[in-house]
Amino acid sequence: MSRRAATLTVASVLILALALVGSLMPVPYIALMPGPTSNTLGTNEKGQQVITIDGRQTYPDEGHLNFTTVTYRGGPGGRIDLFTALRGWLDHDTAIVPEELYFPKDESQKQVDQENTRQMQDSQQSAKAAALHELGVPLQTQVIVQGVQKGRPADGRLQPGDQVTALDGAKVTSTAQVTGAMAKRKIGDKVTLTVQRGGKDTTQTLTTVADPTGKRAVVGVVLGDQYKFPFKIDISVGDIGGPSAGLMFALAIYDKLTPGPLSAGRFIAGTGEIDADGQVSPIGGIQQKMIAARRAGATVFLTPKKNCSEALGARPAGLRLVRADTLHTAIQAINAITTGKGTVPACTK
pLDDT in tens, 296-331: 999 999 999 999 999 998 999 999 999 999 999 999
Could you confirm whether 289 is annotated as catalytic? yes
Window from 4-18, 62-76, 185-199 with minimum mean pLDDT: 4-18
Average pLDDT over residues 119-143: 93
What was the pLDDT predicted at 232? 96
Beta carbons of 96 and 29 less than 8 angstroms apart: yes
pLDDT in tens, 48-60: 999 999 999 999 9
Catalytic pick among 123, 244, 256, 305? 244
Q: In the beta sheet, which residues pair with residue 235?
A: 51
Could you confirm whether 186 is annotated as catalytic? no
Confidence of residue 19 (pLDDT cuts 50, 70, 90): very low
Average pLDDT over residues 133-145: 93
Domains, the chain, ordered by start? 33-70+121-136+232-339 (3.30.230.10), 140-228 (2.30.42.10)
pLDDT in tens, 196-215: 998 899 999 999 999 888 88
What was the pLDDT predicted at 110? 76
- 8 pLDDT higher than 60: no
- 223 pLDDT higher than 70: yes
Catalytic pick among 126, 256, 263, 289? 289
